[in-house]
Chains A and B, each alone.
Chain A
Amino acid sequence: MFKYIMKRLFLMIPVIVGISFILFLIMDLTPGDPARAILGDYATQEQIAALREEMGLNDNFFVRYFRYAVNAVQGDFGKSYRTSVPVVEEIYARFPATLQVAFQAIMLSILLGVPIGVVSAVRQYSAIDIVSIATALIFTSIPAFWFGLMLILLFSLKLGWLPAVGADSWKHFIMPSVTLAAAQLATTIRMTRSTMLEVIRQDYIRTAMAKGATRRCVIFKHALRNALLPVVTVLGIGFGNLLGGALIVESVFGISGLGTLMVNSVKSKDAPMLVASVMFAALVGSLVNLGVDVLYTYIDPRVKIQYLRRAKS
């Protein structure tokens, strides 16, 4: 298993390199001069030319990328063009808020979605089932920004229970997490329900019942563990989506997280900041995927064998 994990970590390197290269290229192709952006509108041509020389902007694209890569490997991702703060510091300062919202959203969708999905499947076509499918359908279709705004209207403006913007206390995180969780919750409910329905019909469930198992034991020990595999997959993919979705939610709720950082970097053509933050997000996404894959092996022994075999070859 250790070998497998190491191999997967190793494979992340080309992914990160590829992402950084493409980003670097895109930033290079978009119009605009970083030196001018840094110095502002009142800088003279000479000042700009001097800074360009100093930053090495006149070099060939590949030379610049290579220089960036060498520095990056040593942990130096450059300074923000806009604020001159080292980008790593900025990312570290911003990431916790994003992570907190994403983590709470995923927890919310697991803790609510899996039980609701199970009950829905076990009581197929009951009132509970119909209500939960309908809810899931609605949550899938509502855009996050609209849902967030509605929450603000209701809970901040009308009822005055929760603060509308900011990230200062746990109260600030409730609505963003709920907003971000909505779509994920819907997916989790639907996925849990459909896999449970499939698993319940399997022969081994009948075998378990023929052994005298209680209903509870059949559902939780025999069925749920088998149904969990696809659900975990969806949650793994979902976590990546959540990091992306954080962008919208952060804008709506005025949280200064990774999402807003990326948007601002694009707007101000802050290449070092953008490249580093996207690379960071990609890294987190890959790590979550790896975590999910490792989790599989604990849920399904057949997967473990496959992985071990693949890792060897």
Chain B
Amino acid sequence: MKTTDSKNGLLKIENLQVEYITDDARVFAVNGLNLEIEKGETLGLVGETGAGKTTTALSVMRLLPPKVGRVIGGSILLDGIDIIHAGEADMRALRGSLVSMIFQDPMTSLNPVLTIGDQIAEVLIFHDRYNNRTDVNRRVDEILRLVGLSPERKNEYPHQFSGGMKQRVVIAIALACEPKLLLADEPTTALDVTIQAQVLEMMKELQEKLHTAVILITHDLGVVAQTCNRVAIMYAGEIIETGTVDRIFHAKRHHPYTEGLFGSIPDLTKKTRRLNPIDGLMPDPSNLPAGCKFHTRCPKCIDICRTIHPRSSVRDGHSIRCHLEGEGGVPVAGETAGGEQT
């Protein structure tokens, strides 16, 4: 792992803890998550449903559902800004300009009563990118072309577009102000398979053109292999393994959960590169097990796993959070065992 003061560092999340308070439970959605991303880099964030991926992204945007969701610990530094303690006005200035987020479902992400042109123009106006309406309109046309839509359609409403086209509009909105970081939460899961590839291809092109760093939340390991520089694998609110794509797909040693996901041998040539289902269910985040959170499903579980929460061991930038990795690995200094609050 890189150090904080790396020149290229863009986002650094340390020991993030997020909970949701619902009527009947406290849900520990994120439990001591550490994540770093450099400028221009693409990080794939992979994990089962309920692992806390969306919650992590929403925390960076500081858009957790008010009153229900809150950050209870840790820090988020984005381009040197302390997200957790920033004022609301400062956050508004960041959202859409320094950091953008694409939500999972394009069908419901756009406002049905505003034209798509208006919805793109709005983000430019919020961030005072242009002084007059003509320049805004010119930029709207430009960005529409960039995402492969005809500028003539800017006066149309979302219901006049297909799912894939809507997601292009959503991407246009997210990238209109050329943010340094894009949080893409399963941007293609809701789309047809054929459209998925097109949209991903377009995102990749744009990202390279604009030098945007991307956190790509996905279930698709094939997508990760094709588009990401690094991968972080998330389980029950923490990162249990992270490393370069090359490492994750080719290293011999893995976290048992990752091995499970990959179906023991990652085979990139196989057609189905979806996550492998693993026996058992993810623990209920309102009632997490002690020790390693994966021990209830882990085929390699040993005594220590049931009681002590493992630290991450790092070898050549490949970090694994597992007791079996303890010998030979270097424990990350200063890292606390998160998620053991009750």
Cα of A202 to Cα of B96 in the assembled complex, Å:
18
A202-254 interface (Cβ within 8 A of B): 202-204, 206-214, 217, 221-222, 225-226
* A207 with B109: CB separation less than 8 A: yes
| Whole-angstrom distance between the Cβ of A221 and the nearest chain B Cβ | 8
* B122 with A302: CB separation less than 8 A: no
Name the interface size band of chain A.
20 to 34
Q: A31 interface residue, CB < 8 Å from B?
A: no
Name the interface size band of chain B.
20 to 34
**Binary per-residue interface labels of chain A (69-113) against chain B in the complex, 1 for a CB within 8 Å, 0 otherwise:** 000000000000000000000000000000000000000000000
- CB-nearest residue of chain B to A225: B113
Contact of A212 among B97, B113, B170 (CB under 8 A): B97
- CB-nearest residue of chain A to B157: A301
Q: A300 interface residue, CB < 8 Å from B?
A: yes
* B159 with A209: CB separation less than 8 A: no
* A302 with B95: CB separation less than 8 A: no
* B112 with A226: CB separation less than 8 A: yes
* B126 with A207: CB separation less than 8 A: no
Give the segment of B9-17, B98-106, B268-276 that binds chain A: B98-106
* B92 with A301: CB separation less than 8 A: no
Taking CB atoms, residues of chain A closer than 8 Å to B100 are: 210-211
Cα of A281 to Cα of B123 in the assembled complex, Å:
48
Q: B61 interface residue, CB < 8 Å from A?
A: yes
| Whole-angstrom distance between the Cβ of B88 and the nearest chain A Cβ | 8
* B110 with A211: CB separation less than 8 A: no
The B contact surface, by secondary structure, is mixed
Contact of A204 among B92, B95, B109 (CB under 8 A): B109
Q: B337 interface residue, CB < 8 Å from A?
A: no
Q: B111 interface residue, CB < 8 Å from A?
A: yes
Q: A299 interface residue, CB < 8 Å from B?
A: yes
Q: B292 interface residue, CB < 8 Å from A?
A: no
Contact of A302 among B110, B157, B170 (CB under 8 A): B157
Cα of A300 to Cα of B159 in the assembled complex, Å:
11
Cα of A217 to Cα of B105 in the assembled complex, Å:
23
- CB-nearest residue of chain B to A213: B126
Q: B173 interface residue, CB < 8 Å from A?
A: yes
Contact of A207 among B110, B127, B157, B159 (CB under 8 A): B110
B103-153 interface (Cβ within 8 A of A): 103, 105, 108-114, 122-123, 126-127
Q: Which of A202, A301, A302 lies at the interface centre, i.e. has the most chain B CB atoms within 10 A of its CB? A: A301
A166-187 interface (Cβ within 8 A of B): none
**Known contacts A212-B93, A302-B159, A226 near B103 by CB under 8 Å:** no
Contact of A203 among B61, B109, B114, B123 (CB under 8 A): B109
Known pairs A207-B170, A212-B96, A217-B126 / 12 extra A-B pairs, C-beta < 8 Å = A203-B108, A206-B103, A208-B122, A210-B95, A210-B103, A211-B122, A211-B123, A211-B173, A213-B122, A214-B92, A302-B157, A305-B159
In order of increasing CB-CB distance, the 5 nearest A-B pairs are A212-B96, A211-B96, A203-B108, A212-B95, A204-B111
- List residues of B whose CB falls within 8 A of some A CB: 61, 63, 92-97, 100-101, 103, 105, 108-114, 122-123, 126-127, 157, 159, 170, 173
Q: List 10 A-B contacts (CB under 8 A).
A: A203-B103, A204-B108, A208-B122, A210-B101, A211-B100, A212-B94, A212-B96, A212-B123, A226-B113, A302-B112
